[in-house]
Amino acid sequence: MNTVVVTKEIHEQEMKRLQRTILNLSYKIGKYAPPMKPFIRFSKEALDYTKNKGAKKHLQFLWDFDYSLQQILLRCLYAVSKADEVCDLCVEQWKYNLRHCYVKNKKATKRAIEDKIYHCGFTKRTKLILKKLMPASRLLYIGCGSGTECLSLAKEGFRVVGIDTNRSLVNISNYRAKLLGLPFKAICMDLTKLNFKPKSFDSFLLEFYGSWPLLSQTLSIQRKLANVLRENGRGIIVACRKKYASFWFQMNSFYSPFAITRWLAPQSDLDFHFSNKDTCEERIIYGLYNRCHTTRSLRYELNNSFDVLKCMYEAYDPRYVIAIVRPKRKKEYIKYNIKRNNEPKSSTVPTERIFAVERIIAETEKICCILESHAGKLSAFFEGIGKYTKKNPLLYIKTDIAGFIEGLKSIKELDVARKDNLLSSSNNEFSKK
């Protein structure tokens, strides 16, 4: 009996380790892949590899190799996880991703106290909120972070309540609000456990819609948000778009010096050059689950709980799709036909599936080491000979492109073999029945 218990505990620990490793690798790929992309896309080795294959999918695989790897990692995650586990894991990963934000904002708050000055950020999205929502209304801000945008809105007269799962950032938000004497309060709360009285807000803003693998959870969140809105209330929902393989090009804090970001920025227009830029599908990015949307798919999905007044691509930041909604006037529920993930139905994962995932993880770890090393070389270049000149780093930085492409091919072959083995084993089980 004890042996069974110990074996089960070891199995669960191994699953958790694999899950965390997959999300950590996803984060590293999101962070370190962009500096490598120009070197791969225009290399002789890549052209030779795709020329002999002839199929468009091989060119896609190398051209957006970071996205290809993220898709493989998502399949690996579903091979060893259930969808509800993925939700919990991503909450922890989000806190890890934002640790630099906490340190940065803590320092900024300390300086503000010393100088007795604090400037609220005022983004283009804040301007959109001011145009679309009723002035001086009570606003629920989901995903408030360190409160920068919330404080800007509070300064404009909104009575803001923000929620976030990161307690450290929530504490900073409340301290800033107290420092400035603005009508803003942050609460540490998970959106899936939203706990406010019905019709208690005039409006809401939801950042990062599409972070829940379970469709039932997504629909539940929609209904909770519709429930807290007053009858004539308005909501703004922000979802991600597929258009870019990474969100790196506006994340200046990822790379030092800034010249790296400036040099890489034009590459963003080349993402998905050989495939659809816009579609609705699942992915992981920076270790976080995300369902990217088109205007059509977002409108369709939200129509279960809301009347969608407007759905548009965000003109000033094309990474996002924005929907303006109000509570549904006629209570009607739509029968969905949305394909979701294929996570395991039980907590017991076959040994051969674990082994296949471990092999892919091992090869991906090697790839990540190369990516991190290459990002370091590019940083050194821009801090050295590239600092005051316009020399092209493609001509000066030496990286084992051939070895990197071989590693990518190996991962792809392992992924195909994993899927084929699982398919054959499931067919055998079916034939036995």
pLDDT tens string 211-264: 888 888 899 999 999 999 998 899 999 999 998 887 655 555 556 677 888 888
Predicted local distance difference test score (pLDDT) of residue 237: 95
Statement: 118-243+278-327 belongs to CATH 3.20.20.450: no
The order of strands in the sheet holding 306-313 is 184-188, 159-164, 138-142, 201-209, 229-240, 320-327, 306-313
**Given the structure tokens 């934002």, which residue do they identify?**
98
Three-state SS sequence of 313-373: ECCCCCCEEEEEEEECCCCCCCCCCCCCCCCCCCCCCCHHHHHHHHHHHHHHHHHHHHHHH
H or E element that contains 247 = none
CA distance 70 to 60: 14
Using an 8 Å Cβ cutoff, are 155 and 349 in contact?
no
Predicted local distance difference test score (pLDDT) of residue 131: 81
Predicted local distance difference test score (pLDDT) of residue 222: 93
* 3-state secondary structure at position 385: coil
Using an 8 Å Cβ cutoff, are 62 and 49 in contact?
yes
What residue type is 296 in one-letter code?
R
Domain ranges of the chain: 2-99+345-378+388-432, 118-243+278-327
Angle at 92 between CA 25 and CA 245, to 5 degrees: 40
Predicted local distance difference test score (pLDDT) of residue 255: 60
pLDDT, tens digit only, all 433 positions of the chain: 444 444 666 677 888 899 999 999 999 998 899 899 999 988 888 777 767 655 566 778 889 999 999 999 999 999 888 877 888 888 788 777 777 666 666 666 666 555 555 556 667 777 778 888 888 899 999 988 888 889 889 988 899 999 998 888 898 889 888 888 889 999 999 898 898 999 999 999 998 899 888 888 899 999 999 999 998 899 999 999 998 887 655 555 556 677 888 888 888 888 998 888 899 999 998 888 999 999 999 999 999 899 999 999 987 778 899 999 999 876 555 555 555 555 444 456 777 788 889 999 999 999 999 999 999 999 889 888 877 777 889 888 988 899 999 999 999 999 988 877 654 544 443 333 3
CA distance 282 to 80: 17
Give Cα 195 to chain centroid, integer Å. Answer: 25
Q: What is the mean pLDDT of the chain?
A: 82
Selection from 272, 265, 264, 282 nearest residue 63 by Cα: 272
Selection from 382, 414, 416, 409 nearest residue 396 by Cα: 382
Using an 8 Å Cβ cutoff, are 381 and 116 in contact?
no
Predicted local distance difference test score (pLDDT) of residue 180: 83
pLDDT above 90 covers a percentage of the chain that reads 36
Alpha-carbon dihedral 21, 22, 27, 32, rounded to 10 degrees: 90
For helices 65-80 and 401-432, give the axis angle rounded to 10 degrees: 30
For helices 83-97 and 2-32, give the axis angle rounded to 10 degrees: 50
CA distance 348 to 401: 39
Q: Is 289 left (phi over 0), alpha (psi -120 to 50) or beta?
A: beta
Write out the DSSP string of 402-430: HHHHHHHHHHHHHHHHHHHHHHHHHHHHH
CA distance 154 to 177: 9
What digits encode the pLDDT tens for the residues 305-335? 999 999 999 877 788 999 999 998 765 555 5
Handedness of CA 385, 389, 395, 401 (dihedral sign): positive
Would you state the structure tokens that stand for residue 253, as one six-digit string? 């804090």
CA distance 418 to 65: 19
CA distance 11 to 195: 35
Cβ count near 197 (within 10 Å): 8
Q: Which residues of 258-295 are buried (b: 16+ CB within 10 A; e: fewer)?
A: ebbbebbeebbeebbeebeebebebbbbbbbbbbbbbb
CA distance 144 to 207: 8
